[in-house]
Amino acid sequence: MIEIELNGAPHRVPAQQTLHQLVDALELGGQALALAVNRAVVPRQQWPERVLQAQDKVDIVRAIGGG
């Protein structure tokens, strides 16, 4: 297990976990999301390849529609 910061709070994840796996583990799959790691936005197509590292700062933002 490694520790990351998820939306400002400590969070432990398995070593070698990808952003895609994190989203699935948090049961957020299928939602309109934006993810940033260390303040850099990661395009959705890169989530399966982006492996989390210890101390990464991950921000997950949900898009909310309105009108």
> CA-CA distance, 13 to 22, in Å (whole number)?
8
pLDDT attached to residue 66: 72
- Residues 6 or more apart whose CB falls under 8 angstroms from that of 38 comprise 56, 57
Residue 53 has pLDDT above 90, yes or no: yes
pLDDT band for 54, please (50, 70, 90 cuts): very high
Mean pLDDT, residues 41-60 taken together:
98
Domains of the chain from N-terminus onward:
2-62 (3.10.20.30)
What residues does 59 pair with on adjacent strands? 36
pLDDT in tens, 3-42: 999 999 999 999 999 999 999 999 999 899 999 999 999 9
pTM over cut 0.85: yes
| Residue 44 confidence (pLDDT) above 90 | yes
**β-bridge mates for residue 10, sequence order:** 5
